[in-house]
Structure 1
Amino acid sequence: MPKMKTTKAAAKRFKSTGTGKLKRNKAYKSHILTKKSQKRKRNLRKAAITDATNVKNMKKILPYI
């Protein structure tokens, strides 16, 4: 049986926590920052846990993470 391949684009964007949950960075922080409030930009810095509805698909494309 051949090995399963990891989707490299996803591997660069997601990290696994100690309990096996997937950690991700938030979107909308790369450009057009002048109209966004300081509070909004500050909250976008923090990492988030991937939603439970997406975890099944994420585990499929990240078999070894």
Structure 2
Amino acid sequence: RVMCIKALGGSKRKYASVGDIIVVSIKEAIPRGRVKKGDVMKAVVVRTAKDIRRPDGSVIRFDKNAAVLV
């Protein structure tokens, strides 16, 4: 589990969407894992609860936000 600290790209950027790189703090980690609680890392947003509208009119929406550590 991670918490977003900053959305990269632009000086006053407030939000990140799918595909954006964010700076995160690790809040929960598995024992003997590569990352520890409190580490600051970069991650890529892969799912958002906010719906994504496609050019053909379809809408994609997920239950939770998710990111992959880089």
Between 1 and 2, higher relative CO (CA 8 Å, sep ≥ 6) is seen in: 1
More strand by percentage: 2
TM-score by length of 1: 0.29
More helix by percentage: 1
TM-score by length of 2: 0.28
